[in-house]
Amino acid sequence: MPQPIEILFQDDRALVVNKPAGLPVYAGRAGGPSIEDGFPAWRRGKTGPWAAHRLDQDTAGCLLIARKKAFLLEAQAMMAEGGKAEKIYWAGLRGVPDGPAGEIDAPLKKLTQGKSWRMAVQAQGAPARTSWRLLGTQGGNALVEFTLLTGRTHQIRAHAAHLGHPVLGDPVYGDGQGKMCLLARRLALPLTPAIDATAPPPAHMADFVERCLGTL
């Protein structure tokens, strides 16, 4: 890996690592650095570890790595059941949503065109719900906290665009200018003992986040 990966939480069952923006979880066909480069150092048995979920390459923050297969299955089942695992994201949005908070209830369906694809709000899509609250504003843009109530692919990115305020820098649902401002801020699983980790804003979001948090 090109840089050390910060560990936000660890025990014999799992780790939560702070995935840098721009670093994929798995290496692509062309190879290159990825989070899985760290797997040998994090292994605690003959097999594994395994990423318990995925984060987009350009998303930073909390990524759960399972060290035991039984824990992997337990964590994935918990994250698949809406509301059991707490997954909170911070996002810089283009423009400012109306009101201090709300909920987006908009089904999502994958649309493919040639080699590209995106998630679109469609009535026949899979149920998708996201709650949000405004954390602050800066320069006509907003810092918003999203809580996933379901776990669809690109859910926050597609729902933010549906709200009329795409994630800053989003190359698929927004203008793609600059780095994408999306952080997997907190991941909490109500197990015994609990797993709970919070990721700091990445460098490209830090100044914007600080300015926004000072406005409310």
Catalytic residues: 56
Give me the DSSP letters along the chain: --SPPEEEEE-SSEEEEEEPTT--SS-BTTB---GGGGHHHH--SSS--EESS---TT-EEEEEEESSHHHHHHHHHHHHSTTTSEEEEEEEESS--SSSEEEEE--EEEEEETTEEEEEE-TTSB--EEEEEEEEEETTEEEEEEEESS--TTHHHHHHHHTT-PBTT-TTTS---SS--EEEEEEEE--SS-EEEEPPPPHHHHHHHHHHHT--
